[in-house]
Structure 1
Amino acid sequence: MISACTVRRETDQFLADILTGLSRPQKRLPSKYFYDAAGSRLFDRITELPEYYPTRTELAIVTAHAAAMADRCGPRCLLIELGAGSLVKVRLLLDRLDRPAGYVPVDVSGEHLRSAAAELGADYPGLGVAPVVADFTRPFELPPVPAARRVAYFPGSTIGNFDPSEADDLLRRVAGLVGPGGGLLLGLDLRKDPAVLEPAYNDTRGVTAAFNRNLLVRINRELGADFDPTAFRHRAFYNRERDRIEMHLVSAAEQSVQVCGRAFAFRAGESIHTENSYKYDLDDFARRAAECGWRAGASWTDEQRYFAVTYLTAATPGHAGLSPRPE
């Protein structure tokens, strides 16, 4: 059960992050706050769009190679899914795991997570499902489940939402979470033609635009702000210099917005930077992971090399590895 104090702490952190972000010269809002119940539902719709290749490509990779991935995880593992969302992809892996010790989905969207976890638990009655409502970028407690090893599962391309230094910090924290010999099964969106990338974040149905603006709706609802979401237009583009997609909300006119008694002025055309999605090269990522306490293992990709799923092992002293082995 979530206490009122916990809810208050989360609201205080949300407010602090929003005020800090809007006070920057380039206004910015943390993308993790996209995922309230409405935002989670909108993202589920995004994953089904014809322009949005990552989800269907990753699902095809996992479908084809789930047995090999499960073999890497090993018997009696405790599977910890970070940013679990709707718990769709994990089913392919759970079907192949050898006597898993338990499954711990972790997500900030409590209502969405608890509903999805209850449904999954009913479908896997022999599996201990223990959802944890938490921000996985900060320390959180795992349930005390005896296991042969801990394996973190981080599907999608969420690692790409972190700036490089933040991604490195996250990799180090996850290495500490699973411990020496533990694993990380990770999804990576690979570098490719911007003609493929940009439509994935600018769908013709406007679902991604609604997802982006929903962040303003949430700020209004939870923090008493007075954003007019219709006064901001969605913009997403590929930044070649930084190998990332950037998402912004662009003010359509000069305006002022109040958030918890503080006023923030916007010029016409001024943007709020809401999300990055970095694109990776597998070898470059393996080198960075090695610097963060991981040994590269196997990697699986699609024929077009749009996406990859890679398995890393938390290194013990004296062991390192730089090149993932394709399978």
Structure 2
Amino acid sequence: MNAFRLTRTLPADATAAALRGDVLHGLTSTPKTLPPTWFYDARGSEIFEAITQIPEYPVWRAELGLLRQHAEAIALRTGARTLIELGSGAYSAKTRHLLDALTGLHAYVPVDVCESALRQAGQALIVERPGLTVHALVADFTSVLALPDTPGPKLLAFLGSTIGNFLPAERAAFLSCLSALLSPGDALLLGADLVKDEAALVAAYDDPAGLTSDFNKNVLRVINSRLDADFDPDAFEHVALFDTAHEWIEMRLRSLVDQTVKIRALDLAVDFSAGEDLCTEISAKFRREGLAAELAAAGLELAHWFTGPGQEYGLALAVPRRPGADRPPAGRSTACVS
């Protein structure tokens, strides 16, 4: 019998409060920052959907291809009866490949801050997949999660290389939290964009059609709309660069003029100097050995590694480290943030 249940662990005003806090903290810091979470509203989601289809941005397609090719192997190695997906959004092609392959699946637990996306996904699934229990969680997966009681083994999926949007210390803490959610026999499936040619990396975040520029500036439109601000997106230049020392992409908005922006909902005026940068995203790129070391530090063992011929993207299947197993030597971290 089909079953759909939705549990909200976020207060109804949590998103608005988080936006106010992030903007107040980020725009009064030096240097100024805003987290990439706020790229997304209806328009931002549409722009990002378009970005996933351009040739310069292969991340989405590379991960989809790996899941299409290796979903059955992942299912065979995990035997998962519950699939938990963090940041699930709407029902996607990536999720569909995993659900198709996990023939013994009993429950799907999508976790997202967007209730409407979760309801859309749940309603589609209970129609398409008789017998599957869907227990959606309206929750912030970066906070402590209270997962529903579902049968194991469990497969915890965190895709899209979103792990690269955490600062190194944040990422270490987050991976440890994920590790704590897993019991023996469970597994973590982690998507990671890999270090590659610098020109290709920069092009993915600064495409000729200007989609990534429009996406980056959408954070300003979101603040205008939700906090009654008067940002002029045309008064900022989109900047994307690759930090070779840390192996991450930085996205910034550079003020073209001296200007003062008013954010009326916060009773805040923010001065920008001409040439001053506002950091909006850092997207770390990984190497297998560095990621394996980070997983090990969190109590996880890299059990299987899936990648394509071009070594552009990787799927890490990690399991709780066996009691008494030696901890591998720490490797160089190649990660980071938002």
- Structures share fold, TM-score greater than 0.5: yes
The alignment partner of 2:180 has SS state of helix
Which residue of 277, 289, 299 corresponds with 2:283?
A: 277
1:317–1:258 Cα change, 3 Å: farther
Structure 1 residues 102-111 or 304-313, which shifts more? 102-111
1:49 to partner: Cα distance: 1.1
1:229–1:133 Cα change, 3 Å: farther
**Partners in 2 of 1:184 and 1:320 — Cα distance?**
20
**Are residue 15 (structure 1) and residue 27 (structure 2) matched?**
no
Correspondences of 1:1-327 after superposition (within 5 Å):
6-76=11-81, 78-86=82-90, 87-145=92-150, 147-259=151-263, 260-319=266-325, 322=328
1:174 to partner: Cα distance: 0.8
1:125–1:33 Cα change, 3 Å: farther
Matched letter for residue 294 of structure 2: R
1:37 to partner: Cα distance: 3.0
**Partners in 2 of 1:205 and 1:130 — Cα distance?**
40
Q: Percent identity at matched positions?
A: 40
1:224 to partner: Cα distance: 2.1
1:180 to partner: Cα distance: 4.0
1:12 to partner: Cα distance: 1.7
1:301 to partner: Cα distance: 0.6
1:233 to partner: Cα distance: 1.8
Tell me, yes or no, if the aligned pair for 2:67 and 2:97 is still in contact at 8 Å.
yes
Structure 1 residues 236-245 or 307-316, which shifts more? 307-316
Deviations 1:167-207, CA, capped at 9 Å, x for gaps: 11110111112334421101111111112111111112222
**Partners in 2 of 1:9 and 1:60 — Cα distance?**
35
**Partners in 2 of 1:170 and 1:229 — Cα distance?**
33
1:123–1:211 Cα change, 3 Å: farther
Structure 2 gap ranges (5+):
1-5, 330-338
**Partners in 1 of 2:209 and 2:89 — Cα distance?**
22
Tell me, yes or no, if the aligned pair for 2:78 and 2:185 is still in contact at 8 Å.
no
RMSD (Å), alpha carbons:
2.0
**Partners in 2 of 1:139 and 1:270 — Cα distance?**
36
**Partners in 1 of 2:260 and 2:191 — Cα distance?**
40
**Partners in 2 of 1:131 and 1:320 — Cα distance?**
37
Tell me, yes or no, if the aligned pair for 1:37 and 1:109 is still in contact at 8 Å.
no
Matched letter for residue 271 of structure 2: A
1:111–1:218 Cα change, 3 Å: farther
Tell me, yes or no, if the aligned pair for 2:221 and 2:231 is still in contact at 8 Å.
yes
TM-score by length of 1: 0.91
1:96 to partner: Cα distance: 0.6
Structure 1 residues 33-42 or 63-72, which shifts more? 33-42
**Partners in 2 of 1:300 and 1:62 — Cα distance?**
9
1:321 to partner: Cα distance: 6.4
**Partners in 2 of 1:322 and 1:196 — Cα distance?**
32
Matched letter for residue 11 of structure 1: A
1:239–1:210 Cα change, 3 Å: same
The alignment partner of 1:203 has SS state of coil
1:73 to partner: Cα distance: 2.2
Structure 1 residues 149-158 or 270-279, which shifts more? 149-158
Poorly superposed stretches of 4+, deviation over 6 Å: none
TM-score by length of 2: 0.88
**Partners in 2 of 1:187 and 1:32 — Cα distance?**
18
**Partners in 1 of 2:255 and 2:134 — Cα distance?**
43
1:41 to partner: Cα distance: 2.5
Tell me, yes or no, if the aligned pair for 1:75 and 1:99 is still in contact at 8 Å.
yes
Matched letter for residue 118 of structure 1: Q
**Partners in 2 of 1:234 and 1:188 — Cα distance?**
24
